[in-house]
Amino acid sequence: MVVLARRDTCTHVVVGAHDAPHTSERPKPKETREERSLPLLPIRDTVQFPHAVLPLTVGPESSVQLINSLGKDKTIIVLAQREARVDSPQPSDLYTVGTLAVVHKVIKMPNQSLFVFAEGLERVKLTEFTQLTPFMRAEGVTIAESIPTKSAEIEALQRNVLTLFQQIVAGSPTISDELSTVAMKHRDGLVDFIASSLPSLSTADKQDMLETTDANVRLEKINQLLAKELCPLAR
């Protein structure tokens, strides 16, 4: 069932699946084993997504060592912490699904911390920790990108999600208006881009979106979250 929000109102229209026939079965994501042991960067209060560049402040000594150890291959695994208050996270303090990412730019700050720009590439599910000190390394399986099925209902849902996001951006004093234009270019990765761009989404909601491998289900979830964001009375 899809909830569509009309522009400039909190009235919702409920569209049943029978109103628009599906033309194909939902895609099944494939997993590919990442043979290399990669550096693992824990992050707090946010989630790294594919299709998005995330600016990160890297402060813990182990994480600074990780970034400084990178050579020509700047591929890492970015994983969110379950509890932001944990200063020295262990494997049990981290979620098991993260994002394969590449570090594009590193800026050294006066307080010895680093400001890092990491671009998310693919979802990855951890299978084994291969190193814990001086920083963590791990192996995992990458989850191939799932593309929404082609149907009238899904296309309508994609348009609705984009419209809701653009309304939220237009009404927010803290979100750049440019994100509305950029979102239009992320048709396949629209949900990941939106989830990464909204600071109001909780880490738990973002992690749930990352762990949802079915692209159609992701669309439905972000549609519900955007509707609640735009219309607080719908909560």
Residue 88 burial by Cβ neighbours in a 10 Å radius (0-12, 13-18, 19+) = exposed
Q: What mean pLDDT comes out for the span 126-155?
A: 89
- Asked whether the bond before 21 is cis by omega within 30 degrees of 0, the reply is no
3-class state of residue 90 by DSSP: coil
* Mean local confidence (pLDDT), 53-65: 94
Burial 214-234 (b: 16+ CB within 10 A, else e): bbbebbbbbbebbbebbeeee
Instruction: Tell which CATH classification among 3.40.640.10, 1.10.3210.10, 2.40.110.20, 2.30.130.40 matches the domain 35-143.
Output: 2.30.130.40
Helix axes 215-230, 203-211, angle to 10 degrees: 160
Q: Are strands 137-143 and 31-43 parallel, antiparallel or unpaired?
A: antiparallel
Residue ranges of domains in the chain: 2-28+146-234, 35-143
Provide the pLDDT for residue 231: 78
Rounded CA-CA distance 106/201 in Å is 26
Q: What would the pLDDT profile of 178-200 be if each residue is shown by its tens digit?
A: 988 888 887 778 999 999 999 88
| Percent residues over pLDDT 90 in the chain | 63
Beta strand spans in 89-178 (E): 97-108, 114-131, 137-143
**What distance in Å separates the CA atoms of residue 70 and residue 67, rounded to the nearest whole number?**
6
Tell me which residue of 72, 59, 77, 57 sits closest to 127, measured CA to CA.
77
pLDDT at 211: 95
Average pLDDT of span 131-159? 89
Enter the tokens of residue 12.
Answer: 């919702």
Q: What is the mean pLDDT of residues 142-147?
A: 80
The token pair that represents 131 in the structure block: 């190193």
> What is the pTM for the complete model shown?
0.82
Q: What is the mean pLDDT of the chain?
A: 85
Q: Which CATH class is domain 2-28+146-234?
A: mainly alpha
Confidence of residue 22 (pLDDT cuts 50, 70, 90): very low
